[in-house]
Structures are given as structure tokens and as C-alpha cells.
A and B are shown apart, each in its own frame.
Chain A
Amino acid sequence: MNLKAFFVASLQTALDLAIATPDDILKHVTPDVLAEYLPKPLWARLFTACLGAPKVDAQLVVETIGVPNLCEHVPAQLIWACIADIGNRSLGKKVDDEPIVLRPMALTTPPPPPQPSGSRSKPLTAPPPDVIERPANLPFATSKLGPSIPAPVTTPAGTGTQSLADIVAELEAEGSARDERATTPPPSRVRTPTQQRFRQSQTNPGGVGRLAQQSNTRRPQAAIPSATPARTARRGETEVEEAEAETSAARGEDWRSSIAVEDEQLVDWQASEETVTTADDLETRKR
């Protein structure tokens, strides 16, 4: 149903046949209505026409705005009121002289139904969420002890925790995985000094602590040169020397007489920041 097209055709035909006059339209489509519903460009066009015209009347207003624009923007009730007045007058019926007034929507809205006297009104705010009670003591098995220490896992029988052999096996697997990561050349020359220092000086892939001494799977060590040429102490070479010195001490050889070390090559372990970091790392590892 194209109501606006019907209104346009009806009003335009009535105006063309002199059945209606522009005053009939402006009876209901008052300047207030135009001010409320007409878009600004049409108002500008209307002002321009009125300022340039010698006479301003309803015909000028209707012709300037145009019947299609009136039917497009003015509420349909008002357009229908115009058409109804024209039709009733043509049929000799009584026409109300007063224009119809559109009431605001708020006044036509029916009031809300009264609430039953026995029921309470609904609060405006949402009720608070239910209190989630946490158990006072969490089970030990579900809590995480630390960032790097896995939680105790029950045995398949469910009677105890992991045995020491299982833990050692896990640590061995972890150590071998780290060795593989360390031997793989990094994409760049930047490396993490803590990781390599920890592996070279303290970690044995064959075991941890006491178990490491029982293991005979030490990595092959390079032979100690009879005389090490004095070179400038660089970070990587210093670490290699430390590993070799430890190896020589384990063999019980008199390495002090075979390696010439200058004072510049010695590392101040207490003042070294990396050494402190290594100690912290070990402490974390122990925990």
C-alpha cells in the first residue's frame, strides 16, 4: 500500500481541479508543522522564494515546497485531514474549522497497569551475584607449588606420589631437551648467558646432584693445551676456560702449572652480576 502516492495524487488532482485551495492545505499544515517536519533545504528554498516574491501566500508556499514534498515529510494524519476536509466540503458535509493537532507520543501512551497490592515492585538495580564460597583448605594435589616445579602427581595405583626414579627420569629428559636447544644454532648471535652458564658449570645431562656423580655419561672434554696463549679475555672464551678448569680438577691433575692465566683473565665472582644471577637461578631451581 503506497499511501504517500495516494495522497500526492489526491491533493494534486484536487488542486488542479480547483476543488481544493492551498489554504486548505495550510489549514492543517501550519507553519509550526512545517518548521517541525520540513527539512532545512526545503526551508531555505521557501525563504528564498518568499524573499524574492512580491506576495507571500499559501499558494507560494505550497508551490515552492511542492505537494510531493509535503506528503513525504508531513505526517500522514495531517495530510489525510486536508483530504478529508476537501472531500467533506465537496459532499456538502460539515467541515471542522479547527485544524487537528497531533499530540505528542508521551501523552497518548497509556499508563502502566497498576501493580497488585500484594506484590513488591521490581528493584531498579540488578540483585547482587551469588556468593561463591571457596574451600578453606585447598587440596594439596591441586595447588601449584611454584612456577617451575610441577605439582605432585599420584601414581597410577593412587596410593602415593611419584617415585624418585620417575623424577630423575623427568629431569634427565628435560636436561637432554635443553642440550638439544643449546646445540641448535640460534637464529642470531644473541644468546642467553644464564642458560649456557648454568648448563656448563652445574648441570650434567646424566643426573642431578648426587646422582650426577654416579653417572658416567659425562660429555667428552677437550684436551688441555700445554700452554694457552695469553689473549684478551672475552666472555665466551672465559666460560670455556672455566669448564676446562673444572674438568682438570676432577681428574686431579696439576692444572695450575699447565695453564698460564693472567690476572686480567680472572673473573671476580662476587662482583660479577652474572654470577649472582646464576646463584639466584640455582636457588629458584632448588625451590
Chain B
Amino acid sequence: MMESGLENQIFQPSDVLAHATPDVLANHLPPDLLSKVLQASLAAGSMTPERVLETVTPELLARHLPHEVLWACIAAAAARAGVTNTVVS
């Protein structure tokens, strides 16, 4: 669902990182992934949501992050798209 939502532009990488906050990432990603994210950012000179999701792919997000966080991201995108009456923050 996360990969399809990104491919179909249901939500953007910034929307993902709005729910997968730095605190969530730091607490749930394994150390090797944290290192890769920082290495990629240092190499590129910046850390953007797109670059973070290039390293932490949707598959890795689904593997390590709590599913409630990912579902909140999906539900919020659905609310923005007007397909549900429930407003999810």
C-alpha cells in the first residue's frame, strides 16, 4: 500500500515523513539503516524526504515502523482525497 500510494501520488514522501517523524525513525529503524540515511545525506549534502525514502524504501518502512503510523499516513491521504469522511491527523 505504501509503495502504491507513492507511485500513484496518493501521498508524497513529505506526507510519509510527517507521520514517520524523526523520532519514530530513530526509535524503530535499525542502526544500519540509520547509518545509511546519514551517509546518503552527507554524501548528497542534504537530507530530503525523497532521499530518505530512497534509502528507507516502503518495504523497509513496512518492516520496521509500526503499522499504525503507516496506516495513519494512508488514512490521512484518503481523507485529503475526499474518499472518507473521517479526518485523520
Contact = CB atoms under 8 A, between A and B. Distances in A.
Q: Do A and B bind each other?
A: yes
Interface of B: 17, 21-23, 25-27, 31-32, 34-39, 41-42, 44-49, 52
Interface in A49-72: 50-51, 53-58, 61
Interface of chain B, helix or strand or loop or mixed?
helix
B46 A53 contact: yes
Contacts of B22: 43-48, 51
A41 B26 contact: yes
Given A44-B25, A48-B22, A36 B45 contact: no
Contact of A57 (B27, B32, B45, B52): B45
Interface of A: 26, 30-32, 34-36, 40-41, 43-48, 50-51, 53-58, 61
Contacts of B52: 51
B26 A56 contact: no
Given A31-B35, A51-B17, A61-B38, A43 B26 contact: yes
Closest 4 CB pairs of A and B: A47-B22, A43-B26, A35-B31, A50-B47
Nearest to A48: B22
B47 A56 contact: yes
Given A44-B22, A44-B27, A51-B47, A56 B42 contact: yes
A24 B7 CA distance: 40
A67 to B, nearest CB: 18
